[in-house]
Amino acid sequence: MIEDKNQQRTPLSELGEFGLIEHLTNNFEIKQQSTIKAIGDDAAVIDPKNKRIVVTTDFLVEGVHFDLSYVPLKHLGYKAVVVNLSDVYAMNAEATQITVSIAVSNRFPLEALEELYAGIETAAKIYNVDVVGGDTTSSTSGLLISVTAIGEVNSGDEVYRSGAKPNDLLVVTGDLGGAYMGLQILEREKEVFKVNPNNQPDLDAYTYIMERQLKPEARKDIIKLLKDLEVKPTAMIDISDGLSSEILHICKASRVGCDLYEDKIPLDPQVISTCEEFDIDSTTVALSGGEDYELLMTISQEDFPKIKANPNLTVIGFITEENAGAHLVTRAETKIPLKAQGWKNFDS
């Protein structure tokens, strides 16, 4: 199922390491003022002026974080960038540069890496970040991608996980659970394909959730929105592992508890209908699914009037004293302790 638009397969050895880097990176544009030197020297040079720099990095490993039997390489390149930018935005910072490191086995032809880099380039364009470096090496099996993202923030504007206070509102962007249910569809179709490669699946009912899995977006727009609304969250984190795990991170770092209301968790209708089809509880999916790359934040009560009319922001609960603990208040109005059951990549 690997998408190979041009059927040509040029072995990587034909270009050599330097030829390959040059080939993949020669059309990257530089747009950020703070980028002084990008690809082509021993290191990039960045001028932060009077801003603070935030740095974050993430690894994506074939067979652990992605499956190339249903993830097109272009989407993979895009996603590898987006998941890092999401961490920058979660600091309330503006993403400005990335570096991209890849380890690749000789199973991949040049054309495959061109697809990967087309996705990286698209994400860099859309999010307005410069690709300023990276590393290229070989691997004995499979593909590994590591992206480092750099961002800038005015001193004092950065938002940590540790600033939530009792009575703050718990607020989430967008809707949850889509990426996980999209993965369920892709896994199911992979099995169907194995049995009957000629089957033409009708996936119209799943377009939104499949896109949430294959082409996630980072909430750059929310950082601007918060600025425009003049709201500085007291704490913030991006949702990569599932809502409950991220809430617990904030509670632990801020030494607070919380009440999360089950009936407030935003769900897309496609998530609800697909959960019904798979006979899975949609709350469990939102709490534990992960990979939605929405932002979870706490904001002070006095900022509520500024956010209440905004369709991008949903109040899902509030912060309590630490000794009250972190709870889910169910639709039946019972309180159950929140547990972190994020994606466990290390599970066998």
Binding site residues, ligand ADP, CB under 6 A = 21, 25, 39-42, 100-102, 131, 133-136
Q: Which is nearer to ligand ADP, 43 or 309 (CB)?
A: 43
CA distance to 243, 328, 342, per residue, from 285 (Å) = 9, 14, 10
Q: Which residues have CB under 8 Å from 215's CB, separation 6+?
A: 75, 78, 79
The pair of structure tokens assigned to 104 is 């690749």
CB atoms within 10 A of CB 143: 22
Residue 66: CB minimum distance to ligand ADP, A: 17
Residue 117: CB minimum distance to ligand ADP, A: 8
- Site string (85-124) toward Mg ion, x via CB under 5 A: ----------------------------------------
Q: Which is nearer to ligand ADP, 131 or 209 (CB)?
A: 131
Question: According to the 3-state scheme, what is the secondary structure of 3-35?
Answer: CCCCCCCCCHHHCHHHHHHHHHHCCCCCCCCCE
**What is the DSSP annotation of 42-79?**
SS-EE--TTSEEEEEEEEEEBTTTB-TTTS-HHHHHHH
Q: Which is nearer to ligand ADP, 74 or 219 (CB)?
A: 74
22 binds Mg ion (CB under 5 A): no
Instruction: Using alpha carbons only, give the angle 173, 181, 219 rounded to the nearest 5 degrees.
Output: 25
Binding partner at 133 among Mg ion, ligand ADP, none, C-beta below 5 to 8 Å by kind: ligand ADP
The answer to whether 161 and 126 are in contact (CB under 8 A) is: no
Q: Which is nearer to ligand ADP, 39 or 287 (CB)?
A: 39
Q: Which is nearer to ligand ADP, 143 or 258 (CB)?
A: 143
135 binds Mg ion (CB under 5 A): yes
Residue 135: CB minimum distance to ligand ADP, A: 5
The pair of structure tokens assigned to 180 is 């996980």
14 binds Mg ion (CB under 5 A): no
Report the residue count for the chain: 348
The answer to whether 219 and 320 are in contact (CB under 8 A) is: no
Could you tell me the sign of the dihedral formed by the alpha carbons of 89, 63, 124, 267, in that order? negative
Q: Which is nearer to ligand ADP, 40 or 48 (CB)?
A: 40
| 71: Cα within 13 Å, side-chain hemisphere | 26
- Angle 110-126/73-89 helices, nearest 10 degrees? 30
Residue 22: CB minimum distance to ligand ADP, A: 8
Give the nearest residue (CB) to Mg ion.
Answer: 135
Binding partner at 42 among Mg ion, ligand ADP, none, C-beta below 5 to 8 Å by kind: ligand ADP
Residue 133: CB minimum distance to Mg ion, A: 9
Q: Which is nearer to ligand ADP, 42 or 279 (CB)?
A: 42
Residue 59: CB minimum distance to ligand ADP, A: 14
Residue 122: CB minimum distance to ligand ADP, A: 15
Q: Which residues bind Mg ion (CB under 5 A)?
A: 135
